[in-house]
Amino acid sequence: MEEIPKKIFDENLILDFDITINNFITFFSNLMEPEQNIYKQLKQLSNYKLVDISESDTNISMEETQFKDKSSYIHEMLHFIANNLSEKLKIIVKNFSSTVLDELFEMLIKIWIQKNREKVRVYFLSLNQIYDVFYANGFRIISSNTIEELTGALQWDIISPDWVNYNFLFDYYKKLSSMVTKDLKNKTWILVELTRIKKQELAYKFSQQKNLTFIL
């Protein structure tokens, strides 16, 4: 597996809407990496190192080194994805219209949820990060369909409340325009509350595991 490319995605845009959308989804779907792939890529990249970091500093354990390498790689990967997403959206909006952002956002979230159904843990931009990139290109309101998709996936523990991010979602809800329907505001609030509940459940499970480890 090659290292993450440094250059921003700059393929020539094919001025056919369906082909463009398919290319967009395929490109970003391929960047949604399961955790096992991250470890595999790090192992392959380590083969190119001239110095074994774990041996060059006896104060750094193998686990600490692996954690730092993984965190650095994920940070670089997410930066690359965000930059590519921004560039691609700018091109699409310029050649088509900002109205296509609703469809692209919904499709990207659906792909993300599907990836998490198939794998134990998948890395990609958080909901907050995705929204921010889309927002910078003219996107504002998360559709009712997408809210329902997120609510269902969160309810069945397909996606993590950390990925949804309660603080982001609560702030988003507070800023919802009075122009949106009451139904959409209600559905969004349900997602906000579900995220809060799931976050509390996750924190409780984590504390229970810590207590169990301490007892053992």
- Token output for 18: 């369906």
What sign does the CA torsion over 118, 73, 135, 16 have? negative
- Token output for 40: 């595999």
pLDDT at residue number 216? 52
Q: pLDDT tens digits for 126-153?
A: 999 999 999 999 999 999 999 999 999 9
In whole angstroms, give the CA distance from residue 74 to residue 52.
20
Question: What are the DSSP E strand ranges found in the chain?
Answer: 33-34, 122-123
* Cα angle, residue 162 at apex, residues 151 and 64 outer, rounded to 5°: 150
Which residues, including other chains, have CB under 8 Å from residue 71's CB and lie 6 or more apart? none
**pTM, two decimal places:** 0.80
* Cα angle, residue 105 at apex, residues 164 and 4 outer, rounded to 5°: 80
What sign does the CA torsion over 163, 169, 170, 171 have? positive
Neighbour tally for 7: CB within 10 Å: 8
Q: What is the pLDDT along the chain (216 residues), one digit of tens a residue?
A: 445 554 444 445 446 888 999 999 999 999 998 877 777 777 766 665 433 434 444 344 545 555 566 778 888 899 999 999 999 999 999 999 999 999 999 999 999 999 999 977 889 999 999 999 999 999 999 999 999 999 999 999 999 999 999 999 999 999 998 889 999 999 999 999 999 999 999 888 877 776 655 555
Query: For residue 56, what are the CA distances in angstroms to 49, 53, 60, 159, 197?
Result: 12, 5, 9, 39, 45
What is the DSSP secondary structure assignment for residue 158, as one 8-state letter? S
- Token output for 13: 């845009």
